[in-house]
Amino acid sequence: MKAPTYKLRNGAEMPAIGLGTFGSDKYTAEEIANAVYGAVKYGYRFIDCAEVYGNEREIGGALGRLFADGVVKREELFVTSKVWNDHHGCVAEACERSLDALGLSYLDLYFIHWPFPNYHAPGCDGDARNPDSKPFSADEFISTYRQCEELCRRGLIKAIGISNMTVSKLEATLPRMEIMPSALEMELHPAHQQPELFRYALEHGIRPIGFCPLGSPSRPERDRTSEDIAAMQMEEIVKIADAHGVHPACVCLKWSVQSGAAPIPFSVKEAQYKSNLDCVCSDPLTEDEMETIRRADKNCRLVKGQVFLWEGAEDWRELWK
């Protein structure tokens, strides 16, 4: 099974669906690496990684086995990673660590994971706060972005990605960039469609990549609130799934790809990651079904980022201004 692709501004072809590798604190690095091996063997060609996920060394081992076994060549894969918040001042070192862990000589796309250097300890409680956290600064962001541009010039990365941005943050930074970003990772599912940000990205040649495309049912407890809406349980999604004879997860992924995004669902379960790939390659949603989902948007953000708040911030919404 082969997924459709999008052509990025640098001419690279990016598969329209990838495998996420954030285990949501529930799965071991070895389990995730085994899923990467199995998913690529089945047909996935896009693997989304990050140093902060704590599993790049194991994923690198899986990639090495895939290359050694003749399953795939490096140039046939699209591999991404991300610089974490506390490494904004030393991006090259972070990138080189990821390359070493993954056993690669270059990354197809390298993201600034969050647009500020606010740091929290891995696995911390949702109410945890770092006294050094501060609001977004365009100057600080561009300083980090300049380091990514240099990595591009050195050939260590093929393209730059941005993540967890807003339209106002993009308006403040895009005019100052020398190498334009190729992709934007954003929370994207039927209950949180972010249409303004989505349109803005596409209008500026930036391809949206959707994390939490299924409504992130396995996200950490610290990211859950009583007001959250589960995308796969939305009445509209369930009805469309019944009409197609598929799981609601398939409807979420079909909607994402047909909207023009590249979802990156995570699963270590073979049946699930196979189904996720299969469903975007056949039986598309109708125009009426796409319109029904568009109208069903709940504006329900699941990854709120409250652990990155600074002293004096009223609530997590201040992160998204």
Catalytic residues: 53
Pairing of strands 46-48, 5-7: unpaired
Pairing of strands 5-7, 13-15: antiparallel
Give the tokens for residue 148: 């990514």
DSSP classification of residue 285: P
CB atoms within 10 A of CB 13: 13
The separation between the first and the last C-alpha atoms of the chain, rounded to the nearest angstrom, is 40
The C-alpha angle 144, 79, 156, rounded to 5 degrees, equals 50
The C-alpha angle 302, 143, 179, rounded to 5 degrees, equals 85
Check: CB of residue 302 under 8 Å from CB of residue 215: yes
Instruction: Name the phi and psi angles at 212, rounded to 5.
Output: 55, 40
Q: Tokens 């190498």 label which residue? A: 179
Please give the single-letter amino acid code of residue 165.
M
The DSSP annotation for 96-127 comes to HHHHHHHT-S-BSEEEESSSS-----TT--TT
Q: Is 6 helix (H, G, I), strand (E, B) or coil?
A: strand
Give the tokens for residue 115: 């647009």
Task: Name every residue whose Cβ is closer than 8 Å to that of residue 205 and which is 6 or more positions away in sequence.
Answer: 9, 180, 182
Task: Please state, in angstroms and rounded to a whole number, the distance separating the CA atoms of residues 109 and 118.
Answer: 22
